[in-house]
A and B are shown apart, each in its own frame.
Chain A
Amino acid sequence: MSVVGHAPPPFFKRGPAPLVRLAFFVSLSLVLLVADLRFRTLEWARLAVATAAWPLQRVTGIPIDAAGDFGTYLSRQTTLIKENEDLRRRQLGTANLLLRQDHLEQENKRLRALLDMRERQPVEGRIAEILYAARDPFSRRVIIDKGSQHGVAAGEAVVDDVGVIGQVTRVFPLTAEVLLLTDKEQAIPVAVQRNGLRAVLAGAGAGMMELRFLAANAEVQVGDVLVTSGLDGVYLPGLPVAKVVKIDRDSSYSFARIICAPLAGVERHGLALVLGGRTALPPQPDDLPATPDQPTRGKRVKKKAR
Chain B
Amino acid sequence: MQPTHSSRRILLPVRNWFIVLTLFLALVLNLVPFGRFPGIPDWVALVLAFWCIHQPLKVGMAAGFFLGLAMDVADASVMGQHALAYVLLAFVAAGWSRRVLWFPLAQQALHVLPMLLGAQLVMLATRMIAGAEFPGVLWFLSGITATLLWTPVTYLLLTPQFQPEDKDVHRPI
Query: Taking the complex as formed, is B57 at the interface, i.e. its CB lies under 8 A from any CB of chain A?
Result: yes
A: interface residue count bin:
35 or more
Closest to B60 in A: A21
Query: Taking the complex as formed, is A57 at the interface, i.e. its CB lies under 8 A from any CB of chain B?
Result: yes
- CB of B76 within 8 A of CB of A56, answer no
Residues of A within 8 A of B126 (CB): 33
Q: How many of chain B's residues have a CB under 8 angstroms from any CB in A?
A: 44
- Tell me the minimal C-beta distance from B146 to chain A in angstroms: 15
With known contacts A36-B80, A42-B79, A134-B76, A60–B133 Cβ distance under 8 A: no
| Chain A 33-49 interface mask (CB, 8 Å, partner B; 1/0) | 10111000010011001
With A and B bound together, what is the CA distance between A72 and B74 in angstroms?
Answer: 28
Residues of A within 8 A of B134 (CB): 205
B31, B62, B76, B130: the one within 8 Å of A60 (CB): B31
Query: Taking the complex as formed, is B106 at the interface, i.e. its CB lies under 8 A from any CB of chain A?
Result: no
- CB of A184 within 8 A of CB of B131, answer yes
Residues of A within 8 A of B79 (CB): 32-33, 35-36, 42, 45-46
- CB of B76 within 8 A of CB of A141, answer yes
Describe B's contact surface by its main secondary structure: helix
Residues of B within 8 A of A31 (CB): 80
Query: Taking the complex as formed, is A64 at the interface, i.e. its CB lies under 8 A from any CB of chain B?
Result: yes
With A and B bound together, what is the CA distance between A105 and B75 in angstroms?
Answer: 44
- Tell me the minimal C-beta distance from A48 to chain B in angstroms: 9
Residues of B within 8 A of A302 (CB): none
With A and B bound together, what is the CA distance between A45 and B76 in angstroms?
Answer: 12
- CB of A60 within 8 A of CB of B32, answer yes
With known contacts A33-B79, A138-B127, A25–B87 Cβ distance under 8 A: yes
- CB of B31 within 8 A of CB of A25, answer no
- Tell me the minimal C-beta distance from A232 to chain B in angstroms: 21
Query: Taking the complex as formed, is A131 at the interface, i.e. its CB lies under 8 A from any CB of chain B?
Result: yes
- CB of A61 within 8 A of CB of B83, answer no
- CB of A137 within 8 A of CB of B78, answer no
With known contacts A25-B65, A30-B84, A57–B74 Cβ distance under 8 A: yes
Query: Taking the complex as formed, is A14 at the interface, i.e. its CB lies under 8 A from any CB of chain B?
Result: yes
With A and B bound together, what is the CA distance between A121 and B34 in angstroms?
Answer: 39
Residues of B within 8 A of A14 (CB): 57
Q: List 18 A-B contacts (CB under 8 A).
A: A18-B91, A21-B62, A22-B87, A22-B91, A33-B126, A36-B78, A36-B79, A50-B73, A53-B74, A57-B31, A57-B33, A60-B33, A64-B33, A135-B74, A137-B139, A138-B133, A143-B33, A177-B76
Closest 6 CB pairs of A and B: A32-B80, A132-B33, A205-B133, A133-B35, A137-B135, A33-B80
A: which residues have CB within 8 A of B?
Answer: 14, 18, 21-22, 25-26, 28-33, 35-37, 42, 45-46, 49-50, 53, 56-57, 60-61, 63-64, 131-139, 141, 143, 170, 177, 183-185, 203, 205-206
